[in-house]
């Protein structure tokens, strides 16, 4: 008898999620349309809709058009039932956002970070950022439903940062530190994985089930979506493509190896090359872009080289995964005007003809928000799996 009751509970919970997801994805919907879409009977749908209304996850928004019988009551998702916090820890920036349950940014904190900070100082900055964001969460039924944090490094399945070379972090148990500070559900994810998921959920990748997101900042990370799902690898370590070797015994990389893609195609590589040119030796990325806009020949040449080098890594990924879409994001995406042409041209030269078919290389629609929105999306999905009547 107990086993039957447990099974009934699981089935009910699953059906409730089916009804909720139908409303989230297809609203406005009526109860009859939900039954038709889900295959559940009308009585079950009516009961579950009543529970979701009591949970304040959905609401009735008025009367719809009649298709012959009684006019239906229309249902909508309550995207303000709770709010998620997403934080993207960059090497030279921190971005934190508060989003509603469909990824709309309600409030944000963005700041430039001194690259010489210790790991303790960087983590304290993240903690301070989250406290600020919490203060700006609007009142709602569920308040803060979770905190997601993206880190540019290797993150294991328990939220421990095993290695983040550009942050100079090693074996930092970030999840444990944050859980000691905040009494909310928390997840820690690789920044490029988060960026890929952000683009899939809210950005340029919404219509693609096989895509690669290239996070090109101080370092380079890659997030991979295969058959609509984020690919993490057996231990969660996939996507460290910035450290694939593109030139044996080449430039020294911050990871300790030589010849890494990151050493030739990242913001770090760009600025390191700029330092060797007198009038560019003190510029940052934004200033270099401005110089390129003013037709500075040296700046234009640097972007041309970075674009070509970026393309070499992209073509290797294309040959390996044969994706439908490659999205370039993070800070170097700001230089799209100057790096897009060398990326596309080099890819056409380096790819085999059949690899070019149906391949699109584009730039992020979410700009620098991809990773923050991605970790926010992860926390929202976890929240929406919960049975709120328990």
Bridge partners of 149? 87, 188
Bridge partners of 210? none
Distance between CA atoms of residues 287 and 329, nearest Å: 19
- CATH fold for the domain made of 83-196+371-384: Nucleotidyltransferase; domain 5 (3.30.420)
- CATH fold for the domain made of 2-77: Arc Repressor Mutant, subunit A (1.10.10)
Q: What is the pLDDT of residue 69?
A: 55
Q: What is the pLDDT of residue 2?
A: 45
In this chain, the answer to whether the domains covering 2-77 and 204-365 adopt an identical fold is: no
- Helices (H), ranges, 218-332: 262-265, 267-274, 285-293, 297-321
210 alpha carbon, distance to own chain's centre: 15
Distance between CA atoms of residues 188 and 174, nearest Å: 7
Tokens of 327: 């999205």
Q: Considering only CA atoms, which of 115, 65, 68, 67 is closest in space to residue 89?
A: 115
Q: What is the pLDDT of residue 359?
A: 82
65 alpha carbon, distance to own chain's centre: 38
Q: What is the pLDDT of residue 389?
A: 46
Q: What is the pLDDT of residue 67?
A: 56
Tokens of 237: 């370590």
Distance between CA atoms of residues 347 and 345, nearest Å: 5
Tokens of 69: 């019988």
Tokens of 274: 């700029």
Which SS3 state, helix, strand or coil, does residue 145 take? strand
Tokens of 5: 């009751």
């969660």: which residue's tokens?
236
Give me the residue spans of the domains in the chain: 2-77, 83-196+371-384, 204-365
Q: What is the pLDDT of residue 1?
A: 40
CA atoms within 13 A on the CB side of 307: 24
Q: What is the pLDDT of residue 115?
A: 86
Burial of 226 (0-12, 13-18, 19+ CB in 10 A): middle
């939220």: which residue's tokens?
159
Distance between CA atoms of residues 264 and 87, nearest Å: 27
Q: What is the pLDDT of residue 258?
A: 96
- CATH fold for the domain made of 204-365: Nucleotidyltransferase; domain 5 (3.30.420)
Sheet holding 154-155, edge to edge: 154-155, 161-164, 169-172
Distance between CA atoms of residues 352 and 346, nearest Å: 12
Tokens of 128: 């301070």
Burial of 72 (0-12, 13-18, 19+ CB in 10 A): middle
pLDDT in tens, the chain (390 residues): 445 466 877 888 899 999 999 999 998 999 989 999 888 999 999 999 999 999 999 999 867 565 555 677 899 999 999 999 999 999 999 999 999 999 999 999 999 999 889 999 999 999 999 999 999 999 999 999 999 999 999 999 899 999 999 999 999 999 999 999 999 999 999 999 999 999 999 999 999 999 999 999 999 999 999 999 999 998 889 999 999 999 999 999 999 999 999 999 999 999 999 999 999 999 999 999 999 999 999 999 999 999 999 999 999 999 999 999 999 999 999 999 999 999 999 999 999 888 888 889 999 999 889 999 999 999 999 999 866 544
User: Using an 8 Å Cβ cutoff, are 191 and 174 in contact?
Assistant: no
């Amino acid at each position: 008898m107990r086993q039957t009751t447990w099974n009934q509970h699981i089935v009910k919970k699953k059906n409730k999620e089916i009804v909720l997801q139908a409303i989230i994805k297809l609203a406005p919907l009526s109860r009859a349309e939900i039954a038709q879409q889900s295959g559940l009977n009308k009585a079950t749908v009516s009961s579950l809709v009543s529970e979701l209304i009591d949970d304040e996850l959905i609401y009735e928004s008025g009367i719809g058009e009649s298709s012959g019988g009684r006019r239906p009551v229309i249902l909508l998702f309550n995207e303000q039932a709770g709010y998620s916090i997403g934080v993207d820890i960059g090497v030279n920036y921190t971005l934190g956002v508060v989003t509603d349950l469909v990824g709309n940014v309600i409030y944000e904190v963005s700041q430039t970070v001194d690259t010489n900070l210790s790991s303790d100082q960087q983590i304290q900055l993240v903690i301070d950022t989250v406290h600020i964001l919490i203060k700006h969460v609007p009142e709602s039924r569920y308040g803060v439903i979770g905190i997601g944090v993206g880190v540019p490094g290797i993150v294991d399945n328990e939220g421990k940062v095993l290695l983040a070379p550009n942050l100079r972090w090693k074996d930092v148990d970030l999840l444990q530190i944050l859980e000691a500070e905040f009494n909310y559900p928390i997840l820690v994810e690789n920044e490029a994985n988060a960026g890929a998921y952000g683009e899939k959920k809210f950005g340029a990748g919404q219509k693609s089930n096989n895509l690669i997101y290239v996070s090109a900042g101080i370092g380079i990370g890659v997030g991979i979506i295969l058959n609509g799902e984020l690919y993490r690898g057996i231990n969660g370590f996939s996507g460290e493509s910035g450290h694939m070797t593109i030139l044996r015994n080449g430039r020294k990389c911050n990871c300790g190896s030589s010849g890494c893609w990151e050493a030739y195609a990242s913001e770090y590589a760009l600025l390191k090359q700029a330092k060797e040119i007198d009038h560019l030796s003190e510029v940052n990325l934004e200033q270099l872009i401005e110089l390129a806009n003013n037709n500075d020949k040296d700046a234009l040449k640097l972007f041309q080289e970075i674009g070509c080098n970026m393309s070499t890594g992209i073509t290797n990924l294309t040959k390996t995964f044969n994706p439908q879409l490659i999205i370039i994001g993070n800070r170097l995406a700001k230089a799209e005007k100057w790096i897009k042409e060398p990326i596309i041209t080099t890819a056409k030269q380096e790819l085999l003809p059949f690899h070019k078919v149906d391949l699109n290389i584009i730039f992020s629609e979410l700009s620098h928000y991809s990773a923050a929105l991605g970790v926010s999306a992860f926390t929202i999905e976890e929240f929406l799996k919960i049975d709120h009547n328990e």
